Each structure stands twice: as C-alpha cells, then as structure tokens.
Structure 1
Amino acid sequence: MIRSLWSAATGMNAQQTNVDTIANNLANVNTVGYKSQVAQFKTLLYQTLQTKTTTANGDPKPVTSQVGLGVRNASINQIFTQGSLIASESNTSFAIEGEGYFAVRNENDEINYTRNGDFTWALGAGNTIMLTTTDGNPVLDAQGRSILLSSGFMTNRIAISSDGTLSYPDENNNLQSLNITIGTYQFRNPAGLERQGDSLWAVTGASGAAINESTAVGVTRSKVVQGYLEGSNVKVADEMVNLIVAQRAYEMNSKAITTSDEMLQQANNLKR
C-alpha cells in the first residue's frame, strides 16, 4: 500500500507536467510562429516480488512477478508542423513556407532563430535604417550581418522577393535589387533546439549548427512570403481533448491515493 501511494504520487506529478504543457500550448494559440509541445512519459524501475525460480534445481519460472514503481516525464517534444498563414497589412511581416528560420541577434549579442517574422524598420546608428524584431533585435542577412540601409530609402516602398531579396523601385518605378537577402537557416535536428522565450530558439549540440540556405548544397530553400505571418500550429480541439484525458488521469491517481489511505486506515483499526 505504501508502494501504491508513491506510484500514484508520481502519476499525479507526471500529469501535472502534462497539464502544464497543454496549458502553455493553449496560452500561445495566437502567438506568431509558436510550435506546440507534447509531454512523453516512461515507467520507473520495477520491483521483483519473487525470485526467478522456486525449484531446488533452479529451473526458471515461465512468468515473472514484478510490480511497477510509477511513472516520470521522459521528455517534452516539439511539434514543427507548418502553421497557417495569416494576412497582415504590414509590409515588414514575413512568413516562412518550408523548414527555414530567421536569424536575429539578441541583447546579449548572441544569435537566435525564430519563425516569427513580425519585423519592423528602426533607426540605427549613423542615421541608418535597420530591420529589427518588435523588441529591437537586429534581423540578420544571409551573411550573418545586420540589415542596414541608408536614410534615403522610403521603407514603405521596399519589396521582398520569395527568396528574401530586398528590392527598391528606381526612377521608372522598376524594382531593383539591393543585393541584400534576409537570411534563412535550417537545422538537421530542429527538435534539439532550445526555447528561449519570445518565440526565439537557441542552437544546441543536439540540434547541430545552423545551415545557411543561401550557401548550403542539397538544401531545399524556404519561401519568404511578404505580408503574411505564420500562425501557431496549436490545434485547440486536440489540446482540449488532451486536457480532459490528463485531468481524468490525474483524478484516477488521486483516487488511488485515497483508496490506499483507506486501506491503511482499516489495517490500523484491526489492532483495536
């Protein structure tokens, strides 16, 4: 009965993590570029109740006699399916169709990656114009440099092609390339990326180094869509079903603790 108390307690802890994960998905249902998560579980060690044999000559038993000691959270996996494209009136809104990520430089001068293409033009040093995130972090081009333009450009006239190249109309209103391309990067194992908050991801040893789509060989390039944002890939109906299942599992573990407690109480009353 003491074993059942601990097993049920581990189940409640595991389901609490599951509910926390689902709640975070639902909270970010409208977050641009958000990728949903799912909790995975594994059993704890098993305790052998009887020896492998009960005969004098050591013949093995055909079946084992083991009891589990509960469950624990094994991992929280990332789901990287494509989110739906949401139209935006801003000409600095960009969505990615494909496996790519935008690169931004954070306040610690570290490079992070994101699917959130809600960018804006900001005034940079030396009266320049710089493409940044809404937090003011510089967006990087295909060479890993900040995207800077001189003050003579009108930002509302800058166009972005599907490969991320910036163009500007000449005196005849014909678009001319500025020889600047918004950088897009891929990873051999996106599931190994580490979440940083603000829809940013950091490279880890599990994800591998970032692969520059503009220079890598054998990589299918992503498509940059101007005037759209990639919505969250959270499916509300699925998450609500998962939430109900997790709640029921939590209640069943709670019931197991209550039942074990009642059995212990009856065992104590036998002495009276």
Structure 2
Amino acid sequence: MMRALWSAASGMIAQQTNVDTISNNIANVNTTGYKSQRAEFKSLLYQNLQTRTTTANGENKPVPAQVGLGTRVAATNTFYTQGAMQASENDTDFAIEGDGFFAVRGEDRNVYYTRNGSFNWSVGNNGMTLCTSEGYPVLDSNGNEIRIPNGVTSGSMVISTDGAVGYRTTAGTYVAMNQTIGLYQFNNPAGLEKMSRSLLAQTAASGAALNEATANGLTKSVIHQNYLEGSNVQIADEMVNLIVAQRAYELNSKAIQASDEMLQQANSLRR
C-alpha cells in the first residue's frame, strides 16, 4: 500500500507537469513562430516481489513478479513542424518555409536563433538596423548586422525569397548590398535551449548551427516577405490532451485515497 501511495504521488506530479506544458502551448497559440511541446514520461525502478525461480532446481519462471514504483517526466519534446503562413502588411515581416532559423545577436552579444520573423528597422548610433521587436539585431549569413546605407529610406529596401538584401534607387534601379539574411539549421533542433522572447540557444544536444549559405547537403529554406509563421499549436488536440491529463491526475488522487483507506482498515485490525 505504501508503494501505491508513492507511485500515485509520482503520477500526480508528472501529470501536473503535463498540464503545465499543455497550458503553455495554449497560451502561445497566437505567438509567432512558436512550436508546440509535449511532455514525455518514463517509468521508475521496478521492485521484485519474488525470486526468479520457485523450484529447488532453479528453473526460471515464465514471467517475472515485479511491481513498478511510479513515473517521472523524461523530457519535454518540441515539434518543429511548419506553422501556417499569415499575411502581413509590414514589409519587414518574414516567414521561413523550411527548417531554417533566423540568427539574432542578444544583449550579451551571443548569437541566438528564432522562427519569429517580426522585424523592424531600428534607429541607432550606427544608422538604421534590421532588428527584432525587442531591438536585437538580425544577422546576415556572415554574422554581420543588416544596415540601411546612407541616403536610402527603409521603404526602398528589397529582400528576395532567398534572403538577398538590396534597395531601389529613386530611378527604380535595383542595387544589391551583397548581404543575405542568415538562415541556419540544426541536426537536432529539439535539443535547442528555449529562452524568453521566442529565442533559442545552441547546445551540445542540438549540435552546431549549420549555415545554409555555406553548408553542403542542406535543403534550402525560403523566406516569404509580408508573411509571418503562425504557431503550430492545434488547439483541438491540446484540449483533448488537457482532458486526458486532468483525468489521469484525478485517477492518481483516487489511488492515494484508496491506499489511505486500506491503511486505515489495516490499522484498525488491532482494535
């Protein structure tokens, strides 16, 4: 009965984490570039109730006599499936079609990655720079910031589907700036560390960032201007998962109540 108490308690803790993950998905259903997550579970140690044999000859039993000791959260897996393309009137809104990530430079000068392509031209000491909504500079394929040349307005800037940056003169002539919006891929994107502000950090589990402009064998991503990539959260699936998690939490609590009543009955036998 004590095993039942601990096993059911571990189930309640695990299902609470499951509900937390589902709640985060639902909360970010309208977050640009958000990727849904799912809690993964694993069983804890098993306890042997009997030896491997029940005969004096040492013959093995056909099936073991073991009981599990509960569960715990093994990981929170992220699914990097393509989100829906949402049209935008902002010329600095970009959506990625493919496996690539934008690269930005954070406050600590480290490089982070994101699928959120809601950018703006930000005025700074070095002129106008393409930045995220938080002011983090967007990097090109060489790791440099993307700045508007002197005498050029932001409305004249042109970015093609392959990320090439240029501008049009007052005469309508296109001038290439020899810069391309950086797109990077990872061997294991699920291993990226999630930060705030829709940023992702490279880890040993994700592997090194692969530059689409220089790495061989990668399927190139496509940049769509005047579009944003919506969240890939399926709200109907999340509601179903939430109901299942709630019922599992409730059943684990019922198992604790049943074990407690059995212990009370056992304690009352001496009376």
TM range (shorter): over 0.9
Q: Secondary structure at the match of 1:75?
A: strand
Match of 1:191 in 2: 190
User: Distance in 1 between the 2:94 and 2:61 partners?
Assistant: 65
User: Distance in 2 between the 1:141 and 1:197 partners?
Assistant: 22
Q: Deviations over 1:134-172 (max 9, x none)?
A: 111110011001112233111022111001111211243
User: Distance in 1 between the 2:124 and 2:236 partners?
Assistant: 44
Say if 2:55 is the partner of 1:55.
yes
Match of 2:207 in 1: 208
User: Distance in 1 between the 2:152 and 2:165 partners?
Assistant: 12
User: Distance in 2 between the 1:136 and 1:197 partners?
Assistant: 14
Q: Deviations over 1:49-69 (max 9, x none)?
A: 011112112111222111110
- Preserved contact between residue 88 and residue 226 of structure 2 (Cα < 8 Å): yes
Q: TM-score, normalised by structure 1?
A: 0.97
Identity between Structure 1 and Structure 2 (%): 61
User: Distance in 2 between the 1:47 and 1:210 partners?
Assistant: 44
Q: Secondary structure at the match of 1:197?
A: coil
- Preserved contact between residue 26 and residue 235 of structure 2 (Cα < 8 Å): yes
How much does 1:123 deviate?
Answer: 1.3
Aligned pairs (5 A) from 1:86-125: 86-125=86-125
Match of 1:255 in 2: 254
- The 4+ residue runs of structure 1 with deviation greater than 2 A are none
Match of 1:44 in 2: 44
- Preserved contact between residue 33 and residue 116 of structure 1 (Cα < 8 Å): yes
RMSD value over aligned CA atoms? 1.0
Q: Deviations over 1:56-96 (max 9, x none)?
A: 12111222111110011111101000000111111110000
Q: Secondary structure at the match of 1:266?
A: helix
Query: Which amino acid in the other structure matches residue 227 of structure 2?
Result: Y
Query: Which amino acid in the other structure matches residue 47 of structure 1?
Result: Q
Query: Which amino acid in the other structure matches residue 72 of structure 1?
Result: R
User: Distance in 2 between the 1:120 and 1:34 partners?
Assistant: 19
- Preserved contact between residue 93 and residue 229 of structure 1 (Cα < 8 Å): yes
User: Distance in 2 between the 1:171 and 1:47 partners?
Assistant: 79
User: Distance in 1 between the 2:123 and 2:35 partners?
Assistant: 31
- Preserved contact between residue 129 and residue 151 of structure 1 (Cα < 8 Å): no
User: Distance in 2 between the 1:122 and 1:54 partners?
Assistant: 77
Match of 1:141 in 2: 140
Query: Which amino acid in the other structure matches residue 152 of structure 1?
Result: G
Name the count of aligned residue pairs: 271
Match of 1:157 in 2: 156
User: Distance in 1 between the 2:61 and 2:178 partners?
Assistant: 75
Q: Deviations over 1:215-249 (max 9, x none)?
A: 11121111111101101000000000000000000
How much does 1:181 deviate?
Answer: 1.0
- Preserved contact between residue 166 and residue 174 of structure 2 (Cα < 8 Å): yes
Q: Deviations over 1:171-230 (max 9, x none)?
A: 431322222211111111111111012111111111111111111112111111110110
User: Distance in 1 between the 2:174 and 2:246 partners?
Assistant: 57
User: Distance in 1 between the 2:101 and 2:70 partners?
Assistant: 39
Match of 1:179 in 2: 178
User: Distance in 2 between the 1:203 and 1:124 partners?
Assistant: 28
User: Distance in 1 between the 2:230 and 2:160 partners?
Assistant: 21
Query: Which amino acid in the other structure matches residue 217 of structure 2?
Result: G
User: Distance in 2 between the 1:151 and 1:16 partners?
Assistant: 55
